[in-house]
A and B are shown apart, each in its own frame.
Chain A
Amino acid sequence: LERHAGRSTRHSWVPYAFVALPAAYIGGIQLFILLRGFWLSLTATNLLAPSDSRFVGFANFQTILSAPPFLHSLQMTLLYTAGSLGGALTLGLGAALLLNGSFRGRGIARAFIAIPWATPGVAVALVFTWIFNDQFGVLNFLLTRFGILGDYTTWLDNPDHAMLAVLIPTIWQLFPVCALVILAALQAVSEDLVEAARIDGADALSVFGSVVLPSIRPTLATIALLATIWSFRRFELLWLLTQGGPADATNTLAIEVYRETFQYADLGTGAAVGMIGLGLSLVVTLAYFWLMGGTRTATEQEATA
């Protein structure tokens, strides 16, 4: 026993060693950058003269929070995030349910569905710029050919259509990863439970609602969290398609950070916008853990009962 205890004592540093590397990374790099970013947000700093930084307290936050353009940008961020999350999860769930069935060519279909996710964002933007082109775009051609539109319309340059136009490629690129993750969860659903529900007379919708959905809920929550944060910080697709326009119709926080920092050379305000974006991401993450905690408690109570 003493020998075991001695070995245990000798090896007690092992878990700390494993933790040390990520801790050093998070503390040394991530935390430093975050703290530096927070400090910048409290200063008036010109991008081209960072050494002339001046402490201004929360003046940057006061300025941007009271400015209509920022509040509009916040609205656009929430709209873009909600749209991409709702669209990607709905399509992803539908695709996963289809791919979970048995049909010829299922393996090929599962491989092909990943293509949009694997396509670089810049390439997606270029292709969709052409699809949405006013004069030569295939979308206008098809919509007028099938009588849905009377005449060609502008997509990326019309404030009424622009958000929809950037959401379409966003969802197209995001839904495959949702589908594949949900598919993995679907394959872990107990066949016994599904079979039992069917024997009890449940129809397909009831089986999905009472057996499948509760089983995949943690996975759905996780992918929803990841997709939300991914949408919050999405930049290249929006920038290449619309640069946040027209009339700020697609101006999300990520675009606003870039504009303030690099176009207006205002590092302090850019950092303040970034901090607010970070705060929103934290709220979403905390809400996720709170929901997951509640779900776990309910499941444990059910198991105990």
Chain B
Amino acid sequence: MALAALVFAMGACTGSTATPTTTVTGAPGAPTTAPTPTPTAAPIITLKVSAWTWTEPKGTAIGKTWLDAFQAQHPNIRIQQVAVPYASYDTTIATQLGTSAAPDVVQLSAVGFGQAVAGKALAPLDSLIDNSAFASSLLPQNNFAVLGGSRYAYIWSLAVFGMFYNKNMLSAAGLPVPTTFDQFMATAKALTDKSKGQYGFAMRSTLAEASGWFPQFSMWVLGHGAHYTNGDQVTINTPEMKQAVTDYIAMYKSGSMLTGTDAATYRRAFAAGKIGMTFDNGLGTQMASLPTLKDLAWAAPTPFNGGTQLILPIYLGISATSQNKEAAAELVKFWLSQGVQDQLAVDLQGELPATFNWDKPSAAYSAYLKTAYWVGPLESKVATAQPAVPAGPLSVLAPQIQQAILNGLSKVQAGQTTVDQMLIDAQAQVEAAKAALPKSS
């Protein structure tokens, strides 16, 4: 409360100067060209802004920095942060969107975004935000949020997935970093020594961690040139998908992969030097804070013959029921301003914000890359990277696709069905879900 009062007071002082442009006090990074501060006599508007990242230490710090800076510039707007843990975020927000209790500005997962658009719970932003002001620097993935000709969100962040490997283990075995699936299998086998509890590869493979398993498996899918959907077509049962599943199962059953283990466990094993390679994005965040991990680990694109890399987009949108859409749009515009975005590129630690200038990154980002050496190899692939379920009219089916794919994988892992039958079943299940969609979706 005291902090809020202080920020409010700072904003009021800033407002009284009435200068046309303002260098944000305590704001991140470079000077920011900001709107003229609103007179303090204006009625106070409270904006509810929800995010799961505010339940995590990194996200809390980032949120405080830019929200404080925003409030300093907009003394008539108070921000009420709604922090919901990731595990229950989608369901919690889904029950609020479409009602008057919805937050004004919402962070959304890829799944949540698709469902929110289908449920008409997000406001089209075209009339609220002049996209041309940011268009030159927006990353192409922002177009994932344009559906039916309308923009419903901007990118909050892009988490880039890749392969992390223990450089000491590869070096000791005299092996290069694998770039093809055959090399990957051979490397995993060479690094496995079960008598020492050492495995060549690890990733999630259990339904108890379905929300993490699905994107990790999707790295195999994209790496093999397969896609779950293409436009309005379900494309699960394809030769590329069959190869992706076949290769994954070959690794799963090879004895070189640590199976049935949750992410926390295999990441600890990786940090303890017991895992040769893993697919991940969260490990990058841990590397930023664990010196031992930084000494041990390196990053590379996934070893699938140069196939597409996976990114996990997180969106920022405005609720359709918000009574404060103009103020909410001001907040989104502030989020997209260059100073905030430049600082976010550093603070997000391995994730990218909505805008990024590849040709001329900020000085802070260039300095950051020298210490965060693992970021470069992964982010260099962002331009062509894709989400697990392609953006488009069928992105609303992401939960059904995940369910069909992981159920099928469980059966194949247990030897209860073949890859061919799994793909036939999954295709049929998602086709049935597609047929049940309302015509407007």
Chain A residues near B (Cβ < 8 Å): 44, 46-52, 63, 129, 133-136, 154, 156-160, 240-248, 259, 262-265
Q: Which of B111-119, B183-191, B279-287 contacts A (4 or more CB under 8 A)?
A: B111-119
Q: Is B416 an interface residue (CB 8 A)?
A: yes
Interface pair B119/A264, CB less than 8 Å apart? no
A79 CB to nearest chain B CB (Å): 17
* Given A46-B119, A50-B99, residue A135 in contact with residue B258 (CB < 8 A): yes
Nearest CB on A from B216, distance (A): 15
Residues of A within 8 A of B411 (CB): 159, 246-247
Specify the chain B residue showing the minimal Cβ separation from A265.
Answer: B115
Residue of A at shortest CB range from B409? Answer: A246
Stretch at the interface among B260-268, B332-340, B379-387: B260-268
Shortest distance in angstroms between B419's beta carbon and chain A's nearest beta carbon?
14
- The answer to whether A245 touches B406, judged by C-beta atoms less than 8 angstroms apart, is yes
Residue B62 at the chain A interface, CB threshold 8 Å? no
Q: Which listed residue, A48, A129, A157, touches B205 by the CB 8 Å rule? A: A157
Q: A50-B98, A259-B403, A264-B400 are in contact. Are A154 and B260 (CB under 8 A)?
A: yes
Q: Which A residues are CB-close (under 8 A) to B95?
A: 47
Max count, chain B CB within 10 A of own CB: residue among A159, A240, A265:
A265
Q: Tell me whether B120 and A242 are in contact (CB under 8 A).
A: no
Flag if B121 contacts A48 (CB, 8 Å).
yes
- Among A44, A47, A243, A265, the residue within 8 A (CB) of B207 is A243
> Do the beta carbons of A247 and B98 come within 8 Å of each other?
no
| 11 intermolecular pairs with C-beta atoms under 8 Å apart | A44-B438, A46-B98, A47-B98, A47-B119, A50-B98, A156-B206, A157-B413, A242-B208, A245-B406, A245-B410, A262-B94
- From known contacts A248-B407, A262-B91, infer whether A241 and B261 are also in contact, taking CB-CB under 8 Å: no
- Inside 8 A of B99's CB, which chain A residues have their CB? 50
B245 to chain A, nearest CB (A): 15
B259 at the interface (CB under 8 A from A): yes
Q: A49-B120, A157-B410, A265-B94 are in contact. Are A246 and B260 (CB under 8 A)?
A: no
Which residue of A has the minimal Cβ distance to B211? A243
Q: Is B140 an interface residue (CB 8 A)?
A: no
Given A46-B119, A154-B414: A241 and B208 interface contact (C-beta under 8 Å): yes
Contact A265 B206 (CB under 8 A): no
In the complex, besides A160-B416, A242-B207, A247-B407, 5 extra interface pairs with C-beta distance below 8 angstroms are A47-B94, A63-B436, A158-B414, A240-B208, A246-B407
Check B59 for interface membership: any CB of A closer than 8 A: no
Q: Distance (Å) between the CB of B402 and the closest chain A CB?
A: 9
Q: Which residues of chain B have C-beta atoms less than 8 A from A129's C-beta?
A: 208, 262
Q: Does B79 contact A (CB under 8 A)?
A: no
- Least CB distance from A76 to B in Å reads 13
**A159 contacts which of B97, B261, B262, B410 (Cβ < 8 Å)?**
B410
Report Cα–Cα, A159/B99, bound state, in Å: 40
**Contact assessment for B115 and A48 in the assembled complex, using a CB-CB cutoff below 8 Å:** yes
10 closest A-B pairs by beta carbon, nearest first, are A48-B119, A246-B410, A134-B260, A245-B207, A49-B119, A262-B91, A48-B121, A263-B399, A247-B411, A46-B119
> Within 8 Å CB of A44, what residues of B?
438
Contact with A along B115-145 (1 / 0, CB 8 A): 1101111000000000000000000000000
CA distance A212 to B76 in the complex (A): 75
CA distance A265 to B410 in the complex (A): 24
Given contacts A46-B118, A245-B406, whether A133 and B260 have CB atoms under 8 Å apart is: yes
In angstroms, how far is the closest chain B Cβ from the Cβ of A267? 10
User: What's the least CB distance linking B199 to chain A, in Å?
Assistant: 8
The answer to whether B98 and A243 have CB atoms under 8 Å apart is no
Q: How far is the CA of A52 from the CA of B414 in the complex (A)?
A: 43
B10 beta carbon closer than 8 Å to chain A? no
Interface presence of B147 (CB below 8 A):
no
| Chain B residues near A241 (CB-CB < 8 A) | 208
From 354 to 404 in chain B, residues with beta carbon under 8 angstroms from any chain A beta carbon are 399-400, 403
A141 to chain B, nearest CB (A): 13
Q: Is B210 an interface residue (CB 8 A)?
A: yes
- For residue A154, which residues in chain B have a CB less than 8 angstroms away from its CB? 259-260, 413-414
**A residues less than 8 Å from B208 (CB atoms):** 129, 156, 240-243
B178 CB, min distance to chain A CBs, angstroms = 23
Q: Contacts A159-B414, A242-B208: A134 and B261 contacting too (C-beta < 8 A)? A: yes
Whether A159 touches B119, Cβ cut-off 8 Å, given contacts A134-B259, A243-B210, is no
Residues of the B chain whose Cβ atoms lie less than 8 Å from the Cβ of A157: 205-207, 259-260, 410, 413-414
**Closest B residue, CB atoms, query A251:** B407
